[in-house]
Every structure is written in structure tokens, then in C-alpha cells.
Structure 1
Amino acid sequence: MTRSTAWFGVVGPCGFIAAWVIGAAVTDREYSSVDDAISQLAAVGADTRPVMTAGMVVFGVAVALYAASLRATWRSPAWIAALTTGVATLFVAALPLDHSDLVDRLHGLAAAVGYVSLAALPLIAARPLLAAGERVLAVAGIVLGAISGIALALSLFVDANGLFQRIGLTATDAWIVASVPVVRRMR
């Protein structure tokens, strides 16, 4: 089970990134990948809502399944960060923007939880990776986790929030994908 669920660490990030790239390319709305949040592609009334919501659901479910492989492989709470990220992303998908003020606030809360847990994932995994002799992935995780945390925090304060959101999410998504062969090898 561990070896097969590890592959969801590739499926989730690839599905999510593909959804936001395709959504931004085909939307009928005025949309900027630099200035607009990814969640705008899944907002109520957005023509790209189905594809972006599907991308979020694929990411949420896949990263939660990837978490199971981390739990079985590493003696670390990294799996909790992965599971939290997956569940938070499912809440983001279930709470689309532009529904109501309350739903928008809950969406923001779920996104914040997902951002923090996603950026924390490679940082938490660094210690068990170093202990297992996986120095390259551990160091990459520290660097990418820091980039992710900084970029996602900046996305709250800058006009180019879409750009910084994509930088932050892609940094840790890349680390998750890179971790899959290591998880499979460490079982």
C-alpha cells in the first residue's frame, strides 16, 4: 500500500497545476495569473469553476493519500502536514469565492491552513530525511519550504498575489513530487 499511495504525491500536484494553467488559458473572464488568486478560477459564476474545482479535489484527495505513505515510511509528523494540506484544499474547493461574505471568509481560513501546512511539510520532513541519509531532498525541502512560506505570506500583501501564490504552491508541490521516489525507496 505504501508504494502505491506514494504515487499520489505526483498525481495531486500535477493535477492541481494543470487545472490552474488550463483555467487561466481558457477563461472568458478578464483574469491575470500575476494579479488574481487561483481561487478566482473556481469562484461562483466562473466559467472555469468545474476544471479548477476538479483540480483542487484531485490535489486534496491525492495529497491525503500521499500522507498515508509518509505515515508508514517516516517517523515524523510530516504526514500530518500532508493530510492537513489535503483536507484544507478540499474545504477550499467546497467553499467557492463569491458565494457570500461568510463563505469567502471560511474559504480564506481554509486556504491559510492549507498554505501553512503545505509550507511546513518539507520543513518537518527534513529531520527524518537527514537521519535516513537523504541529504539532497532534506536540504531541498528546507529551501523550498522557506520559499513557499515567504511567497505565500507575501501573496497576502502584494498586488501580484497570483504570482506569489503560484511561486509558493509550486515550490512545495515540486518538493512533494521529488519526494515520491524517496518515499518508495524508504518503505
Structure 2
Amino acid sequence: MSTVPRWALLSAGGAPLFLVGGWTLAQAAQPDGFDPVRQTISALAATGADHRWIMTVGLVGLGLCHLTTALGLVSAAPAGRALLALGGLATLVVGAFPQHPTGDSTTHAVAAGVAFGALAVWPALAVPRRARPSLDREHRDAPAFVRRLALAAAAVLLALVGWFAAELFTDGAWIGLTERLAAAAEAGVPLAAVLVSRRRSGRSGPG
């Protein structure tokens, strides 16, 4: 198993910091009355928002972190890494094409949809189908356990994204909350994947 480099751990850890730190600081900079339960993350970076650069930096940092993590997560299958990178690239587009005060831009909406979708599905495709045979039962059973863990993570992420999508097509009373839950979970899963990969490679190594 290839060892995931330490810089991938830094980028994976940076993703939730950029996202949650970005929206926390950006919300604090908004006028009284901003409601994070009913208002989206994109509203914090929208054209005309107060100090919109804060959330824009957060989104750009998040996207760059996902791209860097995808590059360094060498133990994952190529399809999973490609989807993680796609999610990072789409997040950069979200930051580059902000929401308009009178409504969403098409580019922003499509990029956000691609980002949420790719970042929800990638764990299911990240576990290699073939693993090197091992006489050690613990090592032999580990790939199956990791695959089940990855599928469970993808299922939870898809459920959160589905809840957010449902809010988009209803009254949207919890649209901000559901988006934050989905986005935060998607930002944290790459960190978990890197930690698991580094732990497994450490156990497989000498000594």
C-alpha cells in the first residue's frame, strides 16, 4: 500500500477549517438579522454581501484543499480521487461565480450541484477493488471493512445532500442548516480517509 504523504493530511485538515472558519467569520461580519438556518453559505459570498471576500476565500481554500488531497491520497482508487478532485474544482467555480442578489447564476448553481454530488459519491469509489493478498487475517479483512465504511460514509453524505435538495424545492425553512450539515460532512470525510489510509499503511509497514 502506498503511503499517503503528510502534506495530504494538512490539506485534508485544512478543508473543514476553511469552510467552517469561513462561514463563521463571514456570518459575524453580516448585519444583524442574518439567519444561518434559513440563509445559505453562498449568500455570504454573494455579490453585494458585506465582506463577501471572507467566504470567497473560504470557498477557494476549500476547493484547493480538496484538489491537493486528491493528489496525495495515493492509496485510493483513481475513480474516487478523480471525483474528489472534481468536487474541489467545482468548489473553485462556485467561489469564482458568486450568487447574484436577485437570484442564482446558472454557472454558480450548476457548479454547486456538481460539487455536492461529486463530494458525496467519491468515498464509494475510493476503495480499490483488489488488495494484495495477506496471510494475516486482520490485514486480509481490512479492505472489506474499509469498503463497508466508505459505502456507509457515501450513504450518509447522499442522505444529507438529499435533505438539502429537498429544502431547495420546499419552503426552505432549514435550507441554511441542511446545506451547512452536508457541506461540513463532505469537508470532513477526506480527512477521515487520509487518517485511515495513513494508519493502515503504518500497520502494514515494517516494525
Matching residue of 1:23:
26
> 1: CA distance between counterparts of 2:111 and 2:33?
25
User: Which stretch of structure 1 is more off in the superposition, 120-129 or 141-150?
Assistant: 120-129
Q: Given the alignment of the two structures, is residue 169 of structure 1 paired with residue 183 of structure 2, yes or no?
A: yes
Secondary structure of the corresponding residue to residue 27 of structure 1: coil
Unaligned runs of 5+ in 2: 132-141, 202-207
Unaligned runs of 5+ in 1: none
Matching residue of 1:56:
59
Moved over 6 A (4+): none
Q: Given the alignment of the two structures, is residue 89 of structure 1 paired with residue 91 of structure 2, yes or no?
A: yes
TM-score (norm 2): 0.78
TM-score (norm 1): 0.85
Secondary structure of the corresponding residue to residue 134 of structure 1: helix
Among candidates 46, 51, 57, match of residue 49 of structure 2: 46
> 1: CA distance between counterparts of 2:80 and 2:49?
35
Secondary structure of the corresponding residue to residue 105 of structure 2: helix
Structure that is richer in helix per residue: 1
- Is the 8 Å Cα contact of residues 92 and 111 (structure 1) preserved in structure 2? yes
- Is the 8 Å Cα contact of residues 154 and 164 (structure 1) preserved in structure 2? no
Once the two structures are TM-superposed, the CA of residue 28 in structure 1 deviates from its matched residue by 1.7
Matching residue of 1:3:
5
> 2: CA distance between counterparts of 1:91 and 1:18?
20
CA RMSD, 1 decimal: 2.6
Once the two structures are TM-superposed, the CA of residue 155 in structure 1 deviates from its matched residue by 3.6
Q: Deviations over 1:43-83 (max 9, x none)?
A: 1111131110000010011110000122x222341101110
Q: Deviations over 1:67-108 (max 9, x none)?
A: 0122x222341101110111001000000111787x711110
Distance 1:6 1:151, change over 3 A: farther
Q: Deviations over 1:142-180 (max 9, x none)?
A: 343233332332242241211111121122222222222
Q: Deviations over 1:99-118 (max 9, x none)?
A: 787x7111101101101101
Matching residue of 2:169:
157
> 2: CA distance between counterparts of 1:142 and 1:47?
35
- Is the 8 Å Cα contact of residues 85 and 113 (structure 1) preserved in structure 2? yes
Q: How many residues align?
A: 185
Matching residue of 1:79:
81
Once the two structures are TM-superposed, the CA of residue 126 in structure 1 deviates from its matched residue by 5.0
